[in-house]
Amino acid sequence: MAKKILKSSFFIFELSVIIITLLAIYLAMPLQAPSKQLFIPKGSNQKIIAYLRGQNVALTKADAYILSYIGQPQSGWIDLGRTQMSRFDFLKALTTAKAALFTIKLIPGETTYTILYLLAKRYGYPLEVLQKEYNRLAPYPEGVLLAESYFVPKGIEAAPLMRYLVQTSLIRHKKIAQKFLGSYNQKLWFERIITIASIVQKEAADAKEMPLIASVIYNRLRIGMPLQMDGALNYGKFSHVAVTPQRIRTDTTRFNTYKYKGLPPYPVCIVSLHAIKAAIKPARTHYLYFVKGVDGKHIFSTSYKEHLRHIKDVQKRNKKR
């Protein structure tokens, strides 16, 4: 009997040694991270591991179980310090690594062309890398990034930065659409809602005017009237270029809403939540025209005759100033 107990104990000991050895080998296996800085979402260990696998980190479902014995994973940005390490060091870093953050604030009404240029100029990023990564991930040339503040780690490289900005914005777009519309159709969202929001963003003097500007756009679309909005011509590299009669005559793109009826093919700028809300729920008006008053706010009218009267009044007031 004693021999059987001794034999069983020895078997359990050998099995334990084998399991510990295999675990040690598994944890010592080299792991390649896509970048020194990683974004870790909130959620369970399983969700975090699944997310990292989606970022091309060679993890397995077993790692979620092992992670529970190492510590509690952080959420947000972490700095690994290096991209190559053992599996154990990587899992440990998920619970201990920190990252110094800085803020990137995207301005509503600005174009992606200009934003990428400013990121390259201000932080020394290669412009071609930023543009290439944006083109690879963004479904539209414009309007994908949202006008918000983004907290990113110092030292983050160009490609991961742009990947984070685009992916975070797309997730946010989907959540906003589902909240206000109940569903998310990417084509409808960007080619209509965000496109209208972008023109509103360019044209409105402030957030209070946005639903009124949106109502003019919808009213003109409904009766087949050209939008004739200067803001639509401030796309891409023309973000800060004055819209002159010559520009209107020579621009042959669909962004020239003086020449073409309907909406441009996609948004003209980065938009704010205020502009999106206005595009989803415009004011109920019969307005078809507006002109900027001497105070910078717009004066709205329902007829062309009334609109001309407002223009003359504004011109007189400007002469007296």
Q: Which of 105, 124, 101 is nearest to 115 (CA)?
A: 105
Structure tokens at 119: 């990121």
pLDDT value, residue 6: 56
How many CB atoms within 10 Å of residue 108? 19
As a whole number of angstroms, the distance between CA 94 and CA 102 comes to 20
As a whole number of angstroms, the distance between CA 274 and CA 252 comes to 30
pLDDT value, residue 4: 61
Higher pLDDT, 17 or 80: 80
Q: Using the predicted structure, report yes or no on whether residue 133 has a pLDDT greater than 70.
A: yes
pLDDT in tens, 59-94: 988 898 888 888 888 888 888 889 999 999 999 998
pLDDT value, residue 72: 87
Domain boundaries, the chain: 28-96, 101-180, 195-320
pLDDT value, residue 39: 87
Under the banding of pLDDT at 50, 70 and 90, the label for residue 10 is: low
pLDDT value, residue 318: 80
Under the banding of pLDDT at 50, 70 and 90, the label for residue 8 is: low
pLDDT in tens, 247-268: 999 999 999 999 999 999 999 9
pLDDT in tens, 274-312: 999 999 999 999 999 999 998 889 999 999 999 999 999
pLDDT value, residue 154: 87
Q: Using the predicted structure, report yes or no on whether residue 11 has a pLDDT greater than 70.
A: no
**First-to-last C-alpha distance (Å) of the chain:** 110
Regarding pTM above 0.85, the answer is no
Q: Kindly report the average pLDDT of the chain as a whole number.
A: 92
Strand locations in 161-312 (E): 289-292, 298-301
Q: Using the predicted structure, report yes or no on whether residue 12 has a pLDDT greater than 90.
A: no
As a whole number of angstroms, the distance between CA 86 and CA 29 comes to 5
Q: Which of 196, 189, 181, 127 is nearest to 158 (CA)?
A: 127
As a whole number of angstroms, the distance between CA 41 and CA 50 comes to 10
Roughly what angle, to the nearest 10 degrees, separates helices 210-223 and 195-203? Answer: 120
pLDDT value, residue 267: 98
